Amino acid sequence: MAEYLASIFGTEKDKVNCSFYFKIGACRHGDRCSRLHNKPTFSQTILIQNIYRNPQNSAQTANASRCKSRFSIMLACGSADGLHCAVSDVEMQEHYDEFFEEVFTEMEEKYGEVEEMNVCDNLGDHLVGNVYVKFRREEDAEKAVLDLNNRWFNGQPIHAELSPVTDFREACCRQYEMGECTRGGFCNFMHLKPISRELRRELYGRRRKRHRSRSRSRERRSRSRDRSRGGRERERRRSRDRERSGRF
Ligand SMILES: [Zn+2]
Ligand SMILES: [Zn+2]
Protein backbone atom coordinates (compact mmCIF):
# COMPACT_ATOMS: atom_id res chain seq x y z
CA MET A 1 0.00 0.00 0.00
CA ALA A 2 2.72 2.43 0.98
CA GLU A 3 4.52 1.58 -2.22
CA TYR A 4 1.40 2.19 -4.25
CA LEU A 5 0.87 5.58 -2.58
CA ALA A 6 4.45 6.54 -3.28
CA SER A 7 4.10 5.58 -6.93
CA ILE A 8 1.02 7.75 -7.48
CA PHE A 9 2.21 10.68 -5.33
CA GLY A 10 1.53 13.93 -7.08
CA THR A 11 -0.07 12.29 -10.11
CA GLU A 12 -3.69 12.69 -11.16
CA LYS A 13 -4.50 9.37 -9.45
CA ASP A 14 -3.42 10.82 -6.12
CA LYS A 15 -6.63 11.93 -4.41
CA VAL A 16 -4.79 13.51 -1.49
CA ASN A 17 -2.01 15.55 -3.04
CA CYS A 18 -2.64 18.10 -5.77
CA SER A 19 -0.86 17.06 -8.95
CA PHE A 20 -0.92 20.59 -10.33
CA TYR A 21 0.75 22.09 -7.29
CA PHE A 22 3.26 19.24 -7.21
CA LYS A 23 4.27 19.57 -10.86
CA ILE A 24 3.70 23.23 -11.65
CA GLY A 25 3.99 24.86 -8.25
CA ALA A 26 0.67 26.62 -8.82
CA CYS A 27 -2.92 25.43 -9.03
CA ARG A 28 -5.95 27.41 -10.09
CA HIS A 29 -7.80 26.56 -6.87
CA GLY A 30 -5.08 28.11 -4.74
CA ASP A 31 -5.73 27.78 -0.99
CA ARG A 32 -9.23 26.45 -1.64
CA CYS A 33 -7.95 23.35 -3.43
CA SER A 34 -9.51 20.14 -2.10
CA ARG A 35 -6.16 18.37 -2.43
CA LEU A 36 -3.02 19.09 -0.48
CA HIS A 37 -0.42 21.60 -1.59
CA ASN A 38 2.71 20.31 0.13
CA LYS A 39 4.92 23.37 0.41
CA PRO A 40 8.56 22.33 0.36
CA THR A 41 10.82 23.29 3.23
CA PHE A 42 13.90 22.96 1.02
CA SER A 43 14.11 23.48 -2.70
CA GLN A 44 16.47 24.76 -5.34
CA THR A 45 13.57 26.47 -7.06
CA ILE A 46 11.73 29.61 -6.10
CA LEU A 47 8.56 31.04 -7.59
CA ILE A 48 8.15 34.79 -7.88
CA GLN A 49 4.44 35.22 -8.50
CA ASN A 50 2.84 37.32 -11.23
CA ILE A 51 5.85 39.55 -11.71
CA TYR A 52 6.27 39.81 -15.49
CA ARG A 53 3.77 42.08 -17.22
CA ASN A 54 3.59 41.44 -20.93
CA PRO A 55 3.01 44.87 -22.49
CA GLN A 56 1.08 43.23 -25.34
CA ASN A 57 -1.51 41.77 -23.02
CA SER A 58 -2.33 45.09 -21.43
CA ALA A 59 -1.99 46.90 -24.75
CA GLN A 60 -4.60 44.71 -26.37
CA THR A 61 -7.29 45.96 -24.04
CA ALA A 62 -6.15 49.34 -22.78
CA ASN A 63 -4.80 50.78 -26.00
CA ALA A 64 -7.08 49.23 -28.55
CA SER A 65 -9.40 52.20 -28.86
CA ARG A 66 -6.68 54.85 -28.72
CA CYS A 67 -4.76 52.87 -31.26
CA LYS A 68 -7.49 52.53 -33.82
CA SER A 69 -7.68 56.26 -34.26
CA ARG A 70 -4.01 56.43 -35.11
CA PHE A 71 -3.83 55.15 -38.62
CA SER A 72 -0.11 55.72 -39.01
CA ILE A 73 0.68 53.29 -36.22
CA MET A 74 -1.51 50.65 -37.73
CA LEU A 75 0.41 50.98 -40.93
CA ALA A 76 3.70 50.89 -39.12
CA CYS A 77 2.92 47.66 -37.38
CA GLY A 78 0.89 46.13 -40.16
CA SER A 79 -1.89 45.11 -37.84
CA ALA A 80 -5.22 45.08 -39.62
CA ASP A 81 -7.38 45.04 -36.54
CA GLY A 82 -5.21 47.58 -34.75
CA LEU A 83 -5.23 45.48 -31.61
CA HIS A 84 -1.58 44.62 -31.45
CA CYS A 85 -0.24 47.85 -32.74
CA ALA A 86 0.60 49.60 -29.49
CA VAL A 87 3.46 47.19 -28.87
CA SER A 88 5.10 45.47 -31.80
CA ASP A 89 6.45 41.94 -31.51
CA VAL A 90 9.99 43.26 -31.73
CA GLU A 91 9.40 45.71 -28.91
CA MET A 92 7.71 43.04 -26.85
CA GLN A 93 10.68 40.70 -27.25
CA GLU A 94 13.11 43.46 -26.31
CA HIS A 95 11.05 44.40 -23.30
CA TYR A 96 10.93 40.76 -22.25
CA ASP A 97 14.63 40.10 -22.84
CA GLU A 98 15.48 43.14 -20.78
CA PHE A 99 13.27 42.02 -17.94
CA PHE A 100 14.69 38.50 -18.09
CA GLU A 101 18.28 39.66 -18.13
CA GLU A 102 17.72 42.08 -15.26
CA VAL A 103 16.12 39.47 -13.02
CA PHE A 104 18.54 36.69 -13.96
CA THR A 105 21.61 38.84 -13.36
CA GLU A 106 20.29 40.16 -10.09
CA MET A 107 19.50 36.66 -8.83
CA GLU A 108 23.05 35.55 -9.56
CA GLU A 109 24.70 38.65 -8.15
CA LYS A 110 22.61 38.79 -4.98
CA TYR A 111 21.84 35.17 -4.13
CA GLY A 112 23.92 32.69 -6.11
CA GLU A 113 24.33 30.73 -9.29
CA VAL A 114 21.18 30.15 -11.29
CA GLU A 115 20.77 26.87 -13.10
CA GLU A 116 17.66 27.80 -15.01
CA MET A 117 15.07 30.54 -15.07
CA ASN A 118 11.63 30.36 -16.71
CA VAL A 119 8.77 32.77 -17.20
CA CYS A 120 5.16 31.74 -17.84
CA ASP A 121 3.26 33.16 -20.76
CA ASN A 122 -0.04 31.84 -19.38
CA LEU A 123 -2.96 34.17 -18.69
CA GLY A 124 -4.69 32.44 -15.74
CA ASP A 125 -4.37 34.33 -12.45
CA HIS A 126 -2.28 31.67 -10.76
CA LEU A 127 0.28 31.51 -13.60
CA VAL A 128 0.34 34.86 -15.36
CA GLY A 129 3.81 36.40 -15.26
CA ASN A 130 5.19 33.75 -12.91
CA VAL A 131 8.96 33.56 -12.76
CA TYR A 132 10.65 30.36 -11.62
CA VAL A 133 14.31 30.54 -10.68
CA LYS A 134 16.17 27.30 -10.07
CA PHE A 135 19.38 27.92 -8.15
CA ARG A 136 22.29 25.54 -8.01
CA ARG A 137 22.16 25.53 -4.22
CA GLU A 138 19.16 25.24 -1.93
CA GLU A 139 20.68 27.74 0.52
CA ASP A 140 20.65 30.39 -2.19
CA ALA A 141 17.00 29.73 -2.95
CA GLU A 142 16.15 30.10 0.71
CA LYS A 143 18.10 33.33 0.98
CA ALA A 144 16.38 34.68 -2.12
CA VAL A 145 12.87 33.98 -0.82
CA LEU A 146 13.56 35.66 2.52
CA ASP A 147 15.02 38.74 0.89
CA LEU A 148 12.62 39.07 -2.05
CA ASN A 149 9.55 39.11 0.17
CA ASN A 150 10.79 42.40 1.62
CA ARG A 151 11.21 43.98 -1.77
CA TRP A 152 9.11 45.74 -4.39
CA PHE A 153 9.05 45.53 -8.13
CA ASN A 154 7.34 48.14 -10.34
CA GLY A 155 5.46 49.56 -7.37
CA GLN A 156 4.17 46.15 -6.23
CA PRO A 157 5.33 44.08 -3.26
CA ILE A 158 7.07 40.90 -4.43
CA HIS A 159 5.66 37.56 -3.41
CA ALA A 160 8.23 34.76 -3.52
CA GLU A 161 8.12 31.20 -2.20
CA LEU A 162 10.02 27.94 -2.37
CA SER A 163 8.55 25.88 -5.18
CA PRO A 164 8.22 22.10 -5.53
CA VAL A 165 9.08 22.36 -9.26
CA THR A 166 12.35 20.69 -10.07
CA ASP A 167 11.73 19.34 -13.55
CA PHE A 168 10.38 21.96 -15.94
CA ARG A 169 9.78 19.38 -18.62
CA GLU A 170 7.14 17.82 -16.38
CA ALA A 171 5.58 21.21 -15.71
CA CYS A 172 5.38 22.31 -19.32
CA CYS A 173 2.49 21.82 -21.69
CA ARG A 174 3.59 19.34 -24.36
CA GLN A 175 0.96 20.49 -26.84
CA TYR A 176 2.11 24.10 -26.50
CA GLU A 177 5.65 23.09 -27.36
CA MET A 178 4.31 21.47 -30.52
CA GLY A 179 2.35 24.64 -31.23
CA GLU A 180 -1.00 22.96 -30.79
CA CYS A 181 -2.36 23.71 -27.31
CA THR A 182 -6.07 24.36 -27.74
CA ARG A 183 -6.47 25.74 -24.21
CA GLY A 184 -4.47 28.84 -25.11
CA GLY A 185 -3.38 31.23 -22.37
CA PHE A 186 -5.70 29.65 -19.84
CA CYS A 187 -3.97 26.29 -19.99
CA ASN A 188 -2.99 25.02 -16.53
CA PHE A 189 0.39 23.68 -17.61
CA MET A 190 3.31 26.04 -18.12
CA HIS A 191 3.57 27.85 -21.43
CA LEU A 192 7.12 29.18 -21.19
CA LYS A 193 7.98 32.43 -22.89
CA PRO A 194 11.21 32.06 -24.87
CA ILE A 195 14.03 34.58 -24.66
CA SER A 196 15.92 35.56 -27.77
CA ARG A 197 18.67 33.27 -28.95
CA GLU A 198 21.29 36.00 -28.37
CA LEU A 199 20.28 36.45 -24.75
CA ARG A 200 20.20 32.71 -24.18
CA ARG A 201 23.72 32.45 -25.46
CA GLU A 202 24.79 35.42 -23.37
CA LEU A 203 23.30 34.19 -20.08
CA TYR A 204 23.74 30.43 -20.30
CA GLY A 205 26.66 30.22 -22.71
CA ARG A 206 28.91 32.54 -20.77
CA ARG A 207 28.08 30.71 -17.59
CA ARG A 208 29.45 27.48 -18.93
CA LYS A 209 32.67 29.31 -19.64
CA ARG A 210 32.68 30.74 -16.16
CA HIS A 211 32.72 27.26 -14.67
CA ARG A 212 35.97 26.64 -16.42
CA SER A 213 37.37 30.04 -15.59
CA ARG A 214 39.47 30.37 -12.46
CA SER A 215 38.96 34.04 -11.87
CA ARG A 216 35.31 34.63 -11.24
CA SER A 217 35.74 38.24 -10.28
CA ARG A 218 37.50 39.11 -13.50
CA GLU A 219 34.79 37.32 -15.38
CA ARG A 220 32.13 39.24 -13.54
CA ARG A 221 33.77 42.58 -14.27
CA SER A 222 33.88 41.92 -17.96
CA ARG A 223 30.34 40.63 -17.74
CA SER A 224 28.97 43.88 -16.41
CA ARG A 225 30.91 45.75 -19.06
CA ASP A 226 29.36 43.57 -21.73
CA ARG A 227 26.01 44.11 -20.25
CA SER A 228 26.16 47.88 -20.28
CA ARG A 229 27.35 47.77 -23.84
CA GLY A 230 24.46 45.45 -24.76
CA GLY A 231 22.08 47.74 -22.91
CA ARG A 232 23.28 50.81 -24.77
CA GLU A 233 22.99 49.05 -28.08
CA ARG A 234 19.46 47.98 -27.25
CA GLU A 235 18.56 51.49 -26.15
CA ARG A 236 19.80 52.84 -29.48
CA ARG A 237 17.82 50.23 -31.36
CA ARG A 238 14.75 51.01 -29.33
CA SER A 239 14.84 54.72 -29.97
CA ARG A 240 15.38 53.98 -33.64
CA ASP A 241 12.30 51.76 -33.67
CA ARG A 242 10.32 54.42 -31.87
CA GLU A 243 11.21 57.02 -34.45
CA ARG A 244 10.25 54.66 -37.21
CA SER A 245 6.86 53.85 -35.77
CA GLY A 246 6.28 57.52 -34.90
CA ARG A 247 5.01 56.62 -31.49
CA PHE A 248 6.63 59.49 -29.54
ZN1 LIG B 1 -4.45 22.25 -6.05
ZN1 LIG C 1 -1.13 24.30 -22.94
123 CA to centre of ligand 2 in angstroms: 11
Amino acid making up residue 143: K
Q: Contact at 8 Å (CB) between 120 and 48?
A: no
- Ligand nearest the Cα of residue 124 is 2
Amino acid making up residue 215: S
Q: Contact at 8 Å (CB) between 207 and 117?
A: no
Indicate whether 176 pLDDT > 50. Answer: yes
Terminal-residue alpha carbon distance, the chain: 67
- Ligand nearest the Cα of residue 175 is 2
**Confidence band for 87, pLDDT divided at 50, 70 and 90:** confident
Indicate whether 231 pLDDT > 80. Answer: no
At 131, which helix (H) or strand (E)? strand 131-135
Round to whole Å and give the CA distance between 82 and 60.
9
- Ligand nearest the Cα of residue 18 is 1
- Ligand nearest the Cα of residue 36 is 1
131 CA to centre of ligand 1 in angstroms: 19
Phi, psi of 3 (to 5 degrees): -65, -40
> What DSSP string describes 39-67?
--SS-SEEEETT----HHHHHHHHSHHHH
Round to whole Å and give the CA distance between 36 and 86.
42
174 CA to centre of ligand 1 in angstroms: 20
**Confidence band for 73, pLDDT divided at 50, 70 and 90:** very low
229 CA to centre of ligand 2 in angstroms: 37
Indicate whether 248 pLDDT > 80. Answer: no
- Whole-number pLDDT of residue 58: 66
- Whole-number pLDDT of residue 77: 44
- Whole-number pLDDT of residue 207: 62
Mean pLDDT score, 49-72? 61
Whole-prediction pTM: 0.73
Round to whole Å and give the CA distance between 95 and 235.
11
- Whole-number pLDDT of residue 83: 52
- Ligand nearest the Cα of residue 181 is 2
14 CA to centre of ligand 2 in angstroms: 22
179 CA to centre of ligand 2 in angstroms: 9
Phi, psi of 17 (to 5 degrees): -100, 140
Q: Contact at 8 Å (CB) between 112 and 143?
A: yes
186 CA to centre of ligand 2 in angstroms: 8
- For residue 14, the 8-state DSSP code is -
**Confidence band for 129, pLDDT divided at 50, 70 and 90:** very high
170 CA to centre of ligand 2 in angstroms: 12
Q: How many alpha carbons lie under 13 Å from residue 159 in its C-beta half-sphere?
A: 5
- Whole-number pLDDT of residue 60: 52
**Confidence band for 1, pLDDT divided at 50, 70 and 90:** low
Indicate whether 113 pLDDT > 90. Answer: yes
